[in-house]
A and B are shown apart, each in its own frame.
Chain A
């Protein structure tokens, strides 16, 4: 089954404790992306990757890191989480050719609370 898998689905942590949210896709997609969703602000892109070892900043990259060492995985790293990073996070993936049609597959989401 084609899917984008995020883990964990729910996470409560404390300020400053490093965490990683994993994202894995089994569709051989070149493009992967991270979004955060906050009430009244819609989906905002954090980072994206056009292929292995190619990553770029989205609209709200501050406080986040990513890596793309393998095609299927695109982890999101919060080195020192702060309460303003409390949000709902989505990973998405797509074939590069499908980007113009915005055919992205979304993961189920990770709800993060930073205390």
Chain B
């Protein structure tokens, strides 16, 4: 089992809809969780971080964390074509290492 797992996609969502991206992790001691956005051929960009159970909202983005289920998700409301990218989930493990998932490719269709 991978330490951080994501569905590779592609996930296709119509413009204006909600895109839902999911991530599971194996280390129960993990405390910090992050979402990065990476456009094709570009470097990753941190867009959200979450540390406690529940929801955290920032503009059109909402991160959700459920430590009991070892699950973290990212919701993008009112999806725009500019949201088309690969989204990387990253987890800070109990050993203080940052482990990245392989990413989910999101495509917003007009």
- A residues touching B (Cβ–Cβ < 8 Å)? 40-45, 59, 90, 99-104, 106-109
Which of B11-19, B54-62, B67-75, B98-106 forms part of the interface with chain A? B98-106
**Cross-interface CB contact of B49 among A45, A101, A108, cutoff 8 Å:** A101
> How many interface residues does chain B have, given as a range?
20 to 34
Task: Choose one: B42, B43, B97, B101; the contact of A42 (CB below 8 Å).
Answer: B101
Note all chain A residues with C-beta closer than 8 A to B88.
42-43
Tell me which of A42, A101, A104, A107 contacts B103 (CB under 8 A). A42
Give, as a whole number of angstroms, the nearest-CB distance from A81 to chain B: 22
- Does B44 sit within 8 A of A, measured CB to CB? yes
Q: Chain B contacts of A103 at CB under 8 A?
A: 46
Instruction: Give the residue among A42, A100, A102, A104 with the most B Cβ atoms within 10 A.
Output: A42
Task: List 16 interface pairs A-B (beta carbons < 8 Å), by A numbering.
Answer: A42-B4, A42-B102, A43-B88, A43-B100, A45-B98, A90-B43, A100-B32, A101-B49, A102-B32, A102-B92, A102-B98, A106-B43, A107-B43, A108-B42, A108-B43, A109-B41
